[in-house]
Structure 1
Amino acid sequence: SLERRGEQESLSRWVCRRLWRILVPYLAAVAVCQFFRCGYQLSLGPYVLWALNFNLEGQFYFVLVYLQLIAVAPLLYLLTLSCRGGRFCALRRLLFLAAALIASVFSVKHTAALQTYGGGNYLLGGSFLLLFVMGMLAADMGVEIRYRNRAAVCAAVSTVILAGSAAFLLTDRLSLDESLSGWLLRVNPPGITITVYSLSVLFFLFSWCSLGALQNSAVVDRMLSVLAWLGRYTLYIFLYHMLILDWLPVLLPFLMEKSVLKTAVYLGMMTGLPIGGKLLYDRLRRSLTGKAREDGKGVSLRPE
């Protein structure tokens, strides 16, 4: 996103724009969740406290983490650029990752943000900072698979790695993380085991999606396009999914037993309702702004 910003847009302006695009949906989600959690009532005092503490819903902790990471993103971006090119670019990237690791561990052990949940309790999200830096470096390297045979090999290797990491996670049950870091770095913020497992999932998805894209299949291309489209609404799904999940048993009491139908309906509702709400809001906003623009033209063309 920093690479794609306009030529006239400064880093500080980019930060303000991104923070605004996160804060507005978050503040709206706090109001919606307060309305349903508090007996269909809204109260300004509790709303302000919940909004400032990011603790009305468990998942709101990540909004606090994300806001902090966006705020420091320009600095991390400049450091990423300093690692680009040259004879020792790989060494500089490793040193950058090592510094991010040290900063993440220091954050977990010696800092505090707000009493929310998981990584939200620590400055810059604790180990989420390391994952953020890893993502920036990977994006800067422009990693891609161009040939079908290589994609097939990567897909097979990623499947084996994912199976191995999942098996270790299920058998070890985070005892390795607990022995190294106690209860601080286990699931949230992620410790070594969850980090490795998450990276294996990303490698798995990247490899298989790359293989699918290289098949030149209209069906596969359509599926990937749908996934990319869904990715535009992940913030809204994230903000509302727990509220929807808590209300679905009340609205759909006939789906109490575990079944494929229940899973499909729950997933569809948890994704469809936030996306539908966002699309409805966008359509209403375009309609109102278009009407206001037409009214403004009518006033300007009216003879004096």
Structure 2
Amino acid sequence: MELLKLILKEHRGLVVAALAVLAMVAVLSMARCAMVQGERTMEAQKEEITEQGEDPVGDGDAELSETDKALAKLTDDQRAKMDEYDSQTTEFIAELTSNVWTARNDSYFLTFTGVTFTDHAKGEDGTEATIHPYVVSDLITHAPTTADGKSTEVAEAVIETDEGSFVLKHTLVTDTETGKSTAKISSSAFTVFEADGYTRTAASDGSLEVKGLNGGIKSMLGGDEDELGDALRDFCSLNVPTATEAKWRGIAERDWNEGTVTTWFDLNNSGKSSVSVTYGTEDGKFTVKNSYGSQQ
């Protein structure tokens, strides 16, 4: 015991330093335990929030585009298939994406990207658009057949979407004498499902010429022909993408109680659509809708 006291007395400085180090280690250990306990508590809170169906960071979907939301509905295996397309599949998808596909006098149409298709369908309040992701998981090209001066080529693809797997049939018919061709696609994945399917139609470049206006109707519509043209172009680019001309029908109706002027235009798309334009005399705004033959 006396020997221990002597050693401590002679090495008092070292002992103090050692004790200080030990004290610091103890403090750091306590702090680390508190941090670990805090992290565990936070993880437990996150797990509890996740189980309740809440997002601890916020509404992640609000930052996603409609395409990203659609792609999120596919599995990892389905998305991986997109990176494995061969040249034939890539060419098939290019045919889909480079055209607009219309049905029933253009009341319904499809547009494609490399990973999604948008189904535009006529609804009570105009055209409704629904975006679906798709993956081509199999593609079969049949040998061409010739009959009655026409050559027919058929390709069938299995597409996987957020609503299941479907067969998409592509039919190309070419006149052997003139070389002119028509193409159609059909699938039960689309709103319109029938043998005739959707017809390939070239999309306009977004321009739309407004024709037939006179001074009287221009005055009734606020005198701003540019805003009228912009309203028609914006509507047609989404609802009648093959139209390049809107011709005024020559009639208009004024509602003094509602403060509106309504008139009609005929479009030059293959389905010969017509649209109504309502001008608000108070706010100066234009509202364009499909008229589906109104005021013929």
Check whether TM > 0.5. no
* Normalised TM-score (structure 1): 0.22
User: Could you say which structure has the higher helix fraction?
Assistant: 1
Of structures 1 and 2, the one with the larger relative CO (CA 8 A, separation 6+) is 1
The alignment's TM-score, normalised by the length of structure 2, stands at 0.22
More strand by share: 2
